[in-house]
Structure 1
């Protein structure tokens, strides 16, 4: 069995801890139920493989489903029977995730300024989109009015041409 000192050092602390806990649980179970001891051993071995990133039977995700698949057990064995191992696995996964460092004040100020600039630019973009839509509607209305005026003008020119007795005052006569 591993010692706690050996489990607490190295880059794979979570895997070593899982192995240590699994050994302790299997030893504590002793001769009570060899099936439980085998399940505990399979679960802890699966924890170790998942935590070091070397899965054999699952997709390698750090979830209970992957842990159960890796251990060759059904998920309900972890969610109902071996809840302590499930909780240990989630605790090791959470402890394994790196905690983001606090941003320095200058970076925080720069991020706040960038967020304000982004909000301003988005508002300006939205305003320009509205103006573009308004201008498109205005152009459409003007095109319709222009088309109607051209039709009216053509109709009036036809009427003027039909009435030859009315002199065209818009034309100038050229004197020879």
Structure 2
């Protein structure tokens, strides 16, 4: 028997085991990967050399009434994980925008602080402290007279 004929026999036997719900080497998924694992052949044996067996497997799997519960649960979990990943990507984008805004505000405050320190050191500028209520204070002379 040639390796190709043996390969076809192994694929057919694996197909029967999976479709009857008695896989020996795979998780029993109704996929080409599951069939290849069960048959002990590379995936490209089904996608390139034995496309007729691949099509036959899909036809028989569809006639069996759908996908197994385990595969449905996994597909549902994959969908949920994709949704979570998309939500995480949106949150990351928002956080990056927040970081940029905060860095800008920090830079502006730093520049203003440096300017105030420079003015204080030069003693050329008149700095007036703001009251806690931010109202202008009366101007008084050194003796406290208005």
TM range (shorter): 0.3 to 0.5
Q: TM-score, normalised by structure 1?
A: 0.37
Whichever structure has more helix as a proportion of its residues is 1
Q: TM-score, normalised by structure 2?
A: 0.43
